[in-house]
Amino acid sequence: MSLLEIRNLHVTVGENEILKGIDLTVNAGEVHSIMGPNGSGKSTLAQVLARRDAYHVTEGSILFEGKDLLEMKPEEAACEGLFLAFQYPVEIPGIGNTYFLRSALNAQRKHRGQDEMDAMDFLPLFREKLKLLEMDDKLMNRSLNEGFSGGEKKRNEILQMAVLEPKLAILDETDSGLDIDALRIVAGGVNSLRSPERAMLVVTHYQRLLNYIVPDFVHVLVDGRIVRSGGKELALELEEKGYGWTEHDTRQPVGARA
Amino acid sequence: MSTDMNVVHDLASKEYEWGFVTDIEEDRIPKGLSEDVIRVISAKKKEPEFMLEWRLNAYRYWASQEKADAEPKWANVTFPPINYQGITYYSAPKQKKTLTSLDELDPEILRTYEKLGIPLAEQKLLANVAVDAVFDSVSVATTFKAKLAEAGVIFCSFSEAVLKHPELVKKYLGSVVPHTDNFYAALNAAVFSDGSFVYVPKGVRCPMELSTYFRINAAETGQFERTLIVADEGAYVSYLEGCTAPMRDENQLHAAVVELVALDNAQIRYSTVQNWYPGDKNGKGGIYNFVTKRGKCLGRNSKISWTQVETGSAITWKYPSCILQGDNSVGEFYSVALTNNYQQADTGTKMIHLGKNTKSTIVSKGISAGHGQNTYRGMVKIMKGATGARNYTQCDSLLIGDKCGAHTFPYIEVKNASARMEHEAATSKIGEDQLFYLQQRGLKTEDAVSMIVNGFCKQVFKELPMEFAVEAQKLLAVSLEGSVG
């Protein structure tokens, strides 16, 4: 059974149809990259998978581990193991990072029938992941994303991912706003989380991130449709020729796998 | 007469049907207010002459105000007229119905106790379950009293203080809230039932937090409570009022008066967590909490802090205030006021700067949900002689949903040019993107809202004594249930 199966997905926001029939299959252990120009629907796809209300699915289906994802509320999808690293993580003043992350982890553990983790057990786990992402211990006492730089916020997303250990991680333009060093650290964190049980969807504009997080499959999303799929070399071709190339090429769009 | 007053009326007369009061004299006390009623109240309590005179003075003033229709109507709250003659002003301490076990308790109330995390033994006490050998409430209170006696701290009921420490009562009663202060203070001064009295001697740091919970005879809160707390030179006391458990009372009007006096280098911390019955979903039958609370920083370098978390009452109308008379004195006000369903609140504080180099801090957090209407009303007054005065005010409002309201009426009066004033205000809604972020991490909507609200209130919660802070967080979560659809 595949981890994620998207069939003929049509999504509308307000009056506009953004996704016009997406087919995609992702198996555990795979890293897929979704690339495309601005407005192609990349973020929409990410948000729909995370079950955000504002996006209306007008047609199609999404199965997550064989279960109907469209029937799930955001927190249910999360507890089932779906994680979205936000493109623009929000700030929530007054909520400590430690308290927040432990609450989230425990909510998910509870859903899975596991015991909740108390503060004593959580702290070493948190510290270990902080180290992995080369983040300061002091962060533990600060409020959620409050006063964080753009790069720090992105690293915090991957930190949370490291603690929550999802089955499917969707990274929405994680590289935007990162300098070379931060990019290296974030990519390192993401790569350390690759495993046969886990799949990732890396949404990005630029090929650069994919030098660090090497994908197994690349899909090109243009104007709400996947127009091309291929292996990691496809990303390099795009970098060279630009997205316009995909529209002019006479090759037929390939299915989800190269 | 409105339905609400009918309810009060019915219940007031019901008292006589219960028949546990066998004293014939009591049966003859009519409803309503008059000088005779005041005399009876004072006689029943065996009060000394000065107390009766004080009450009568207050009553005469109140009666003249009532006659002149001077009942205040300026607050941003609406309620049907109160029939003062329909209230019984004296009642013997009631025997609460005793249960044999918690199973007899309304399951809804039991569920609330669980959600608030109230320990089982405490639940039994609150529900008046016959106490078993495992939890001996008498011995707990006895140990408590012994420790206080050792330190020389007086902590007893107000009635007891009038009899045992009349000189202290005489000295300070009415010195902070005179009976002429306002309509409800006058009423309270005339008919006050009971309350707390605290006196901390010179240089003593009260060895424990004083909680009304442990005051003997605190089984039932009267509707006209009178509390007086005096911290002598160099003394310190932290006082906790109220509890998170939902409190019902047939008496709809609660007009308490609290006076605090801090002498040179003394400090008083007064914390309130109140969850009075807010009325049903349509706002009917809730408590009216019209309270006058004021602290006087009488001495140099003295400090008074008010911290309140108000989630209950149909109507909350109170302004815990500080008179900063002593030089270098400090006044603080930290408040979280929540209005949900049809609750109304007009609350805030007054900081009156009289002495030199005085400082005041106001942090007010208002949360409106449902059809709640929440008003912050603050007054910062810097008098002519108050050189070097400083004030910092922050009033923030959080709106949940689109049917509630938040209003702010700050008054600033400065008569000394050396004063420094800072005022900040922010109004926000719970952002959908904030909620979605928390949901995407696995948190249910209600937990997410509660987390955001707690974050909003953090500045105030951290001023509360620890156990109260934990209770307050749970209370907020329980009070917000169902507010985000």
Q: What is the pLDDT of residues B182-200, one digit of tens each?
A: 999 999 999 998 888 999 9
Q: What is the C-alpha separation between A255 and A238, in angstroms, rounded? A: 18
Chain A residue numbers touching B433 (CB-CB < 8 A): 90
Residue B18 has pLDDT above 50, yes or no: no
Please tell me if residue A170 touches chain B, with a CB cutoff of 8 Å. Answer: no
Cβ proximity of A73 and A252 under 8 Å: no
- A163: nearest CA partner in chain B: B441
Please tell me if residue B456 touches chain A, with a CB cutoff of 8 Å. Answer: yes
Q: What is the DSSP string of B168-234?
A: HHHHHTTSSS-TTS-HHHHHHHHH----EEEEE-TT-B-SS-EEGGGSTT-SS--SS-EEEEEE-TT
Question: Percent of chain B at pLDDT above 90?
Answer: 50
Chain A residue numbers touching B452 (CB-CB < 8 A): 92, 95
Q: What is the mean pLDDT of the segment spanning B145-161?
A: 89
Place of tokens 């007229």: B81
The amino acid at residue B186 is: A
Please tell me if residue B485 touches chain A, with a CB cutoff of 8 Å. Answer: no
| Helices A180-192 and A150-164, packing angle to 10 deg | 10
Chain A residue numbers touching B445 (CB-CB < 8 A): 75
More confident position, B256 or B134: B256
Place of tokens 């995407």: B440
Residue B132 has pLDDT above 90, yes or no: no
Q: What is the pLDDT of residue A149?
A: 87
Residue B2 has pLDDT above 60, yes or no: no
More confident position, B357 or B242: B357
Q: What is the C-alpha separation between A213 and A235, in angstroms, rounded? A: 12
- B462: nearest CA partner in chain A: A94
Question: How many Cβ contacts (< 8 angstroms) between chains A and B?
Answer: 71
- A170: nearest CA partner in chain B: B440
* Token pair in block for residue A152: 């720090």
Closest in B431, B442, B455 to A108, CB measured: B442
Pairwise CB contact (< 8 Å): B443 & A103? yes
Pairwise CB contact (< 8 Å): A83 & B440? yes
Q: What is the pLDDT of residue B130?
A: 53
Q: What is the mean pLDDT of the segment spanning B267-278?
A: 88
Any long-range contacts for B22-29 (C-beta under 8 Å, 24+ apart)? B23/B92, B26/B90, B26/B92, B29/B88, B29/B90
Q: What is the mean pLDDT of the segment spanning B139-147?
A: 70
Q: What is the pLDDT of residue B406?
A: 93
Please tell me if residue A114 touches chain B, with a CB cutoff of 8 Å. Answer: no
- Give the residue among B219, B187, B200, B245 at the shortest CA–CA distance from B58: B187
The predicted complex's ipTM stands at 0.93
Please tell me if residue A119 touches chain B, with a CB cutoff of 8 Å. Answer: no
More confident position, A124 or B137: A124
Residue B27 has pLDDT above 90, yes or no: no
What distance in Å separates residue B451's CA from the closest CA in chain A?
A: 7
Q: What is the pLDDT of residues B210-256, one digit of tens each?
A: 886 554 333 344 578 899 999 999 999 999 887 666 666 666 788 99
- A103: nearest CA partner in chain B: B443
Q: What is the pLDDT of residues B429-477, one digit of tens each?
A: 888 899 999 999 999 998 999 899 988 999 999 999 887 888 888 888 8
Residues shown for chain B: 485
What distance in Å separates residue A50's CA from the closest CA in chain B?
A: 7
Please tell me if residue A97 touches chain B, with a CB cutoff of 8 Å. Answer: no
Q: How many Cα atoms within 13 Å fall on the side-chain side of residue A129?
A: 21
Q: What is the pLDDT of residue B23?
A: 32
| Helices B35-44 and B49-67, packing angle to 10 deg | 150
Distance of CA B471 to the CA centre of its chain: 16
Residues of chain B numbered 372-431 and touching chain A (CB < 8 Å)? 431
To the nearest whole number, what is the mean pLDDT of chain B?
83
Q: What is the C-alpha separation between B174 and B178, in angstroms, rounded? A: 4
Q: How confident is the model at residue B91 (pLDDT cuts 50, 70, 90)?
A: low
Please tell me if residue A112 touches chain B, with a CB cutoff of 8 Å. Answer: no
Pairwise CB contact (< 8 Å): A93 & B443? no
B51 phi, psi to nearest 5 deg: -70, -45
Please tell me if residue A94 touches chain B, with a CB cutoff of 8 Å. Answer: yes
What distance in Å separates residue A245's CA from the closest CA in chain B?
A: 36
Mutate to test the interface with B, among A48, A75, A76 (most CBs of B within 10 A): A75
Q: What is the pTM of this model?
A: 0.81
Chain B residue numbers touching A160 (CB-CB < 8 A): 441
Closest in A94, A100, A108 to B458, CB measured: A94
Pairwise CB contact (< 8 Å): B444 & A94? no
* Host H or E run for residue A77: helix A74-79
Q: What is the pLDDT of residue B218?
A: 35
- B453: nearest CA partner in chain A: A94
Pairwise CB contact (< 8 Å): A107 & B431? no
Chain B residue numbers touching A73 (CB-CB < 8 A): 439
Q: What is the C-alpha separation between A33 and A202, in angstroms, rounded? A: 5
Residue-wise burial string across B104-132, b where 16 or more C-beta atoms lie within 10 A, e elsewhere: ebeeebeebbeebebeebbbbbbbebeee
Q: What is the mean pLDDT of the segment spanning B308-334?
A: 94
Cβ proximity of B325 and B296 under 8 Å: yes
Q: What share of chain B is helix, strand, coil (3-state, %, to 5)?
A: 30, 30, 40
Per the DSSP assignment, residues forming a β-bridge with B273 are B309
Residue B11 has pLDDT above 70, yes or no: no
Closest in B434, B437, B442 to A79, CB measured: B442
Q: What are the C-alpha distances in Å from A240 to residues A206, A228, A244, B340, B343?
A: 11, 16, 11, 59, 64
Cβ proximity of B378 and B394 under 8 Å: no
Chain A residue numbers touching B363 (CB-CB < 8 A): none
Q: What is the pLDDT of residue A247?
A: 65
- Give the residue among B232, B241, B293, B307 at the shortest CA–CA distance from B267: B232
Mutate to test the interface with A, among B435, B439, B452 (most CBs of A within 10 A): B439
Please tell me if residue B452 touches chain A, with a CB cutoff of 8 Å. Answer: yes
Pairwise CB contact (< 8 Å): A104 & B437? no
Cβ proximity of B239 and B209 under 8 Å: yes
What distance in Å separates residue A48's CA from the closest CA in chain B?
A: 12
Cβ proximity of B395 and B374 under 8 Å: no
Q: How confident is the model at residue B141 (pLDDT cuts 50, 70, 90)?
A: low
Chain B residue numbers touching A93 (CB-CB < 8 A): 455-456
Please identify every stretch of chain A with a pLDDT value under 50, giving residue numbers as ranges.
Answer: 250, 252, 254-258
Q: What is the pLDDT of residues A214-256, one digit of tens each?
A: 999 999 999 999 999 999 899 888 888 887 777 665 454 544 4
Q: Strands B257-262, B226-231: parallel, antiparallel or unpaired by DSSP? A: parallel
Please tell me if residue B27 touches chain A, with a CB cutoff of 8 Å. Answer: no
Q: What is the pLDDT of residue B13?
A: 37
Q: Which of A188-197, A242-251, B162-171, B366-375 has the lowest mean pLDDT?
A: A242-251
Q: How confident is the model at residue B93 (pLDDT cuts 50, 70, 90)?
A: low
Pairwise CB contact (< 8 Å): A164 & B442? yes
Q: What is the C-alpha separation between A247 and A232, in angstroms, rounded? A: 19
| Domains of chain A with bracketed CATH | 4-90+168-257 (3.40.50.300)
Please tell me if residue B462 touches chain A, with a CB cutoff of 8 Å. Answer: no
Residue B485 has pLDDT above 60, yes or no: no
Cβ proximity of B275 and B246 under 8 Å: yes
Q: What is the pLDDT of residue B22?
A: 28
Cβ proximity of A86 and A47 under 8 Å: no
Q: What is the pLDDT of residue B20?
A: 25
Q: How confident is the model at residue B125 (pLDDT cuts 50, 70, 90)?
A: low
Closest in B434, B439, B451 to A75, CB measured: B439
Residue B47 has pLDDT above 50, yes or no: yes
Q: What is the pLDDT of residue A137?
A: 87
Q: What is the pLDDT of residues B412-429, one digit of tens each?
A: 999 999 999 999 999 988
Please tell me if residue A232 touches chain B, with a CB cutoff of 8 Å. Answer: no
Cβ proximity of B271 and B308 under 8 Å: yes
Q: B271: which residues sit within 8 A by CB, 6+ positions away?
A: B238, B239, B240, B241, B307, B308, B463, B464, B465, B468
Q: What is the pLDDT of residue A226?
A: 95
Mutate to test the interface with B, among A55, A82, A88, A95 (most CBs of B within 10 A): A95
Residue B12 has pLDDT above 60, yes or no: no
- Give the residue among B44, B47, B49 at the shortest CA–CA distance from B29: B44
Pairwise CB contact (< 8 Å): A104 & B439? no
Task: Let me know the angle formed at the C-alpha of B359 by B353 and B365, rounded to the nearest 5 degrees.
Answer: 100
Cβ proximity of A161 and A194 under 8 Å: no
Any long-range contacts for B14-21 (C-beta under 8 Å, 24+ apart)? B14/B250, B15/B88, B15/B91, B20/B95, B21/B92
Mutate to test the interface with A, among B435, B441, B445, B453 (most CBs of A within 10 A): B441
Q: What is the pLDDT of residue B146?
A: 82
